Structure 1
Amino acid sequence: MIQLQNLSLRRGLKELLNNASITLNPGYKVGVVGANGAGKSSLFALLMGQLHADSGDATVPAHWTIAHVAQETPALECSALDYVLDGDAELRQLQRKLAEAEQANDGAAIGQLHGELDHIDGYAAPARAAKLLTGLGFDPEAQERPVASFSGGWRMRLNLAQALMCRSDLLLLDEPTNHLDLETVLWLEDWLKAYPGTLLVISHDRDFLDAVCGQIVEVANQTLTLYTGNYSQFETMRAEKLARQQSEFDKQQRQIAHLESFINRFKAKATKARQAQSRVKALEKLERIAPAHVDSPFDFTFATPAALPNPLLRLDKVAIGYGATPILQRVSLSVEAGSRIGLLGVNGAGKSTLVKLLAGELKALEGEVIGAQMLKIGYFAQHQLETLRMDDTPLQHLARLAPQAREQELRTFLGGFNFRGDAATSPVGPMSGGEKARLALALIVWEKPNLLLLDEPTNHLDLEMRHALTLALQDFPGALVVVSHDRALLESTTDLFWLVADGTVRPFDGDLEDYRQWRLEQLAEGARPSAGDAQSVNRKEQKRQEAEERQRLSALKKPLLAKLGKLEKELEKLSGEKAELDAFLASEEAYQDGNKAKLADSIKRQGEVSARLAEVEEEWLLLQDELEGVSANLA
């Protein structure tokens, strides 16, 4: 088992863990979650022996083999298949010894080594490696190509295959789905479910965590907390835990206020001095409970576009490709106002190519692309991060888009993307991939597009930001076209799918589960996926009705949210006034001879404020219930 006891860990000046303890039993499949920078990757480095704890113990059984995904891939001339076989270090060691024995003509050693190879199933290793590569999207021809011939994303897949090839006792995966398409993620899920060892996986893909993990470790507040269950169950348990903590905090605050009130009122009175002093000691000994922090740091919405022409964009017999080579042909489709489209298809089928055409980054080889006069596109792709100016700050990036806007307005807007204080005025260069992705999204949101084109927008985003983006997209009034391996995002924000397959694009009448089943049938038959075969499921009318209902409920939600905002401002104001009145009435000053009139007014006003506070709280609760009903229907 893995045992971490009283562990403290620092990176530079930042304390990541303090007196953390946890035990993970063999065979656990653990999702490791927490905010960016909380220490998840450092925990992996500690388990691999790349970091050492400042204090405490981190114990992994000495005989365990640990596998992890390499971050760099050298430009090797060996084939992809051979590179993956290198992941089985014991196999390669036996093969080297066998070659030496054969060269030395050592019959006894040759016989023994053949026996050892048979024991580890070494003769089936090439078939195992080929199966891994096939699952990760490499066809037989690609498996024989040199490693150096693959692009960065495909090399990351090779590194993943090499880690899976290792017959490990402990497998450490850090964001393994980032460079995968949807169906490769589904294949990886199935592989990991059957993995016999102990698995620790860092991921921000909640569906992936739900499918694979039976335990969740949360890295937060410099400690490690183990929850039993998948990610959805973890969220429920954590919410209950935080609710209990907040209740205990509130109860303790009332106790502290009572003690302090007694001390302040009676410490100067000789008859009460002893009791006041005992309460001072009780206050000093009290072990303070921290308030629960459950609010997301992200809060943003897409503003209503200036215009919503219909259709926004239309393709008429379009061929798309690079140079003179078409990748997609005979594409005739339109993007209607308010449509919410998810693109499905295997990696390399042309999803990103289609999005580039819609964004105007690629010209059609044939046919016509007709955009509405008032079309305004917001386009997010991974290469958008490269267009950010590394020496500039988030505030400077936004100021270039809005030179007339006041600085405070820009800062408030950036705050919704968690660029607050110094973060808004720090250079972009040293920022993490997640922070750069957030900034790129912020710049798109500011522009008020009526057509959003998102190509893998969640790759670098943590769970909190993914959730905030999902909520914002659900209320986005314009049209949306999205490519993503994040099923939670696709299922929550899209109403219909386009299938990119067989060199063309057609509507897919089904949901993600239908697509999964269709792909499994295609793979079982050994056939290439055909877009025409996907018409077996007919749910178009159902999808249309669901989309109309979602738009209707979204329209109902907006005035409720506006009213809720007003009530919350009044609650804040009344609570502040009541706190001031309570403090005055609990003070010695209130009972001095010269303050009789003020005391009477304060007592009267306290009654008025308390009554109004109760009314507003009741209105707020009723409005929350109403909003929850609308949100439940939206979900």
Structure 2
Amino acid sequence: MLNFKNIAIRRGNRLLFSKASFIIHKGQKIGLTGANGVGKSSFFALLRGELHSDEGEFSMPPNLEIAHVAQETPALDCTAIDYVLDGDRELRQLQQQLAAAEQAQDGLKQAELHGNLDHIGGYTAQARASRLLNGLGFSTAQEIHPVSSFSGGWRMRLNLAQALMCRSDVLLLDEPTNHLDLDAVIWLQDWLGRYPGTLLLISHDRDFLDAITDHIVHIEQNNAEIYTGNYSDFERMRAEKLSQQQSAFEKQQREIAHIQSFVDRFKAKASKAKQAQSRIKSLERMEIIAQAHVDSPFNFRFPAPKKLPNPLLKIEDADIGYGDKVVIKNASLSITPGDRIGLLGPNGAGKSSLIKVLSGQMRQLNGELHSAESLNIGYFAQHQLEQLRLDESPLWHLQKLDKQASEKDLRNFLGGFDFRGDKVNDPIGPFSGGEKARLVLALLVYQNPNLLLLDEPTNHLDLEMRHALSVALQEYEGALVVVSHDRHLLRSVTDQLLLVANGKLQVFDGDLDDYRLWLAENKKTGDEPAPAAIASPAVRKDERKLEAKRRNTLKPFMDAVKKSEALVDKLQQQQIELESKLADPSLYQEENKESLKTLLAEKSRIDNALHQAEDNWMVAEENLQQAEKSCIN
């Protein structure tokens, strides 16, 4: 139980929130929301004991194990799986103590420690760490790569896996989905749904919050208040409060009318495809969502494109990849005005590479790419944040685009992205990631593109800005191709889903719930079944033949993996049984000396066999992965 009584927290002279009084009970899953800078991270720091409240009293039971995600990862030489295992601190302590006892040949202490290891699940820890890594997108081969070999984003995934590895009573997660793709987000959502401890989650992903949380702590206007229910429930309750304010009510009605007009237009055009129906349902919920965002500081629209040639962009029979590595074969796609395309697919399958080829950031390996003469692409990717001039201001960046515009007009435009007053002239170096992302989006909107290519546009954006972006994209008249792990954004602004997987680009005839089922089936079988796609019977027949051939090719490799896995399970069970026997104190009496010696020898034999079996299992997994790659190529 976490008890907050009249808590106030300040940073310097600035009051973040005060008079916060509520209780978080064991096992509850709390979403912590509010605009950037209101005190969410300080709230976490209070729980970790890194700062104390300026007023009031915070209390919690002694000896709670609190886990959180480290923000930095040193360039370590240890393997990824060992780094994750370090998250279980008690496991590592017992392993160190056991090594010392074995060195000292202290049989009694060894038996005690083996019993303790068995009690905490220490003999299945390696398998647990491997499952965490796999769920977060790491291959079996990558488990033994040194931490230093991974990029910054993948090291953040390692930090997340290490936090999940901890057998914690309280888990603190601050924007855990920022460095994940959609597949990993779905996996993490399922994992957190099963987490038995108390969860406190900072996230700007609406669907993620809705699926996991049962309470929301919202911080605004120096108040921290708890609401029962998930994020949608919170929005409804907050909307009821805000609708009582006349000025808020009037703005709310304008927003609702705008959204409703779009819903009506979309209904008139929608086919019976699942994703179209899913999008209509999502848009019909927007009335409630709009009510909860009437006091948003963001207000912008995409201007109507000057020209909308048809098609805007066309790619034919193109191979996409790097050097000799082809990630997508024979890709063909024609983008016309009004297209709203969402790209799905596993990490590394080629979604971002496809976006880069469409944007002209990289060339296709072969095939044709045809652009309309009046094509004006608005391309958003995370690396563009790094290309901003840190010593210059938002106003300077906008003036570089339009030297003829008046400062007043540019200030008004930037105000829609919540850059106001002196902020428009401040150098952007100290800006947060969210502020830089907002500025890049502002620059993109100002250029009036007729084709938007967006690669994870919501990273670092808070809920209010995500909502404003969704509303702006809904009325955008040009074409849109988006990659995002934000399912609410995909549901709200796309009506066609394409799947990038198995080296192919094809139509996904389903919605995001179907994609989740496709992922689950993919994980369960270890195969990569093709999704339901629009194709002729002859094409489907050929695909079935190819799939059958692929399964026959992979079957011996899959059988080897299953056999290796079964042997590991068998040896682990034998190991547990031996540990149970060795935990019997009577075994260490003088008259049982020979029995103890026999059991210890058997234990040593099983340990060695298990180590070898785990190595064989890893080799079998790598052989399967190589075989799968050969099938793709």
Q: Return the letter of the residue paired with 1:217.
A: V
**Worse-superposed segment, 511-520 or 170-179:** 511-520
Whether 1:54 and 2:54 are equivalent positions in the alignment is yes
Q: Number of paired residues?
A: 495
Aligned equivalent of 2:438: 438
Aligned position for 1:611: none
Residue type of the partner of 2:140? P
Tell me the residue number matched to 2:235. Answer: 235
Q: What does residue 506 of structure 2 align with?
A: 506
Amino acid at match of 2:533: Q
1:221 maps onto 2:217 in alignment: no
Alpha-carbon distance in 2 for matches of 1:47, 1:244: 35
2:183 is equivalent to residue 183 of structure 1 = yes
Contact 2:381 2:455 in 1 (8 A): yes
CA 1:306–1:247: 2 relative to 1, 3 Å: closer
Q: CA deviation at 1:486?
A: 0.3
Q: TM-score, normalised by structure 1?
A: 0.76
Q: Which residue number corresponds to residue 532 of structure 2?
A: 534
Matched, 1:387 2:387: yes
Q: Identical aligned pairs, as a percentage?
A: 62
Match of 1:594 in 2: none
How far the C-alpha of 1:239 sits from its partner, in A, is: 1.2
Q: How far 1:516 sits from its partner (Å)? A: 1.2
The answer as to whether partners of 2:18 and 2:224 remain within 8 angstroms in 1 is: no
Structure showing greater radius of gyration is 1
Q: 2: CA distance between counterparts of 1:515 and 1:245?
A: 41
Is the 2:453–2:481 Cα contact (8 Å) retained in structure 1?
yes
Which runs of no fewer than 5 residues in structure 2 stay unpaired? 251-291, 537-633
Instruction: Say which SS state the counterpart of residue 532 (structure 2) adopts.
Output: helix
User: Which runs of structure 2 are paired with 1:460-479 in the superposition (5 Å)?
Assistant: 460-479=460-479
In the alignment, what sits opposite 1:64? 64
Offset of residue 245 of structure 1: 6.5
Structural mapping, 1:155-554, within 5 Å: 155-244=155-244, 294-527=294-527, 529-530=528-529, 532-535=530-533
- How far 1:537 moved relative to its partner? 10
2:101 maps to amino acid: A
1:564 aligns to what? none
Q: Is the 8 A contact 2:248 2:295 kept in 1?
A: no
Summarize the Cα distance change of 1:449–1:23 in structure 2 as closer, same or farther, 3 Å threshold: same
Q: What's the CA shift for 1:325?
A: 2.6
Q: Is the CA contact 2:101–2:107 (under 8 Å) kept in the aligned structure 1?
A: yes
Matches of 1:167 and 1:430, distance apart in 2: 37
> 2:329 is paired with a residue of what secondary structure?
strand
Say whether 1:10 aligns with 2:41: no
Output the aligned Cα RMSD: 1.9
Shift of 1:323: 2.7
TM-superposed CA distance for 1:397, in Å, is: 0.5
CA deviation string 1:27-66 (max 9, x = no partner): 1100000010000011001110111222222212222100
User: How do 1:78-97 residues align onto structure 2 when only pairs under 5 Å count?
Assistant: 78-97=78-97
Provide the C-alpha distance between the structure 2 equivalents of 1:32 and 1:238, rounded to a whole number of angstroms: 15
Deviates more, 1:312-321 or 1:464-473: 312-321
C-alpha deviation, 1:533, in angstroms: 3.6
Check if 1:116 corresponds to 2:155.
Answer: no
Over 3 Å off, 4+ runs: 243-250
Change (3 A) 1:309 1:356: same
Give the TM-score of the pair, scaled to structure 2.
0.76
Distance in 2, matches of 1:245 and 1:22, equals: 26
SS of the aligned residue for 2:482 comes to strand
Structure 1 segments unaligned to the other structure (5+ residues)? 251-291, 539-635
Which whole-Å CA distance do the structure 1 matches of 2:482 and 2:45 have between them?
34
Summarize deviations over 1:528-584 as a string: whole Å, max 9, x none. x35x4432899xxxxxxxxxxxxxxxxxxxxxxxxxxxxxxxxxxxxxxxxxxxxxx
| Residue equivalent to 1:154 | 154
**1:514–1:537 contact (8 Å) kept in structure 2:** no
1:108 CA displacement:
1.1
Q: Which residue type is aligned with residue 532 of structure 2? A: A
What whole-Å deviation, never above 9, does each CA across 1:177-224 have from its counterpart, x for those lacking one?
Answer: 111111211111111111110000000000000000000000112121
1:307-329 alpha-carbon deviations (Å, 9 max, x no partner)? 00011111111112223332222
Per the TM alignment, residue 134 of structure 1 is displaced from its structure 2 partner at its CA by 1.1
Distance 1:245 1:478 in 2: 36
Cα deviation 1:469-517 (Å, max 9, x = unaligned)? 0000000000000000000000000010111111121121111111111
Alpha-carbon distance in 2 for matches of 1:294, 1:446: 24
Q: Is the contact made by 1:518 and 1:534 (CA closer than 8 Å) also made in structure 2?
A: no
1:617 corresponds to which residue? none
Native 8 Å contact 2:7 2:19 kept in 1:
yes
SS at match of 2:138: coil
Question: Are the equivalent residues in 2 in contact too, given 1:20–1:222 (CA < 8 A)?
Answer: no
The one of the two structures with greater contact order (alpha-carbon pairs below 8 A, sep at least 6) is 2
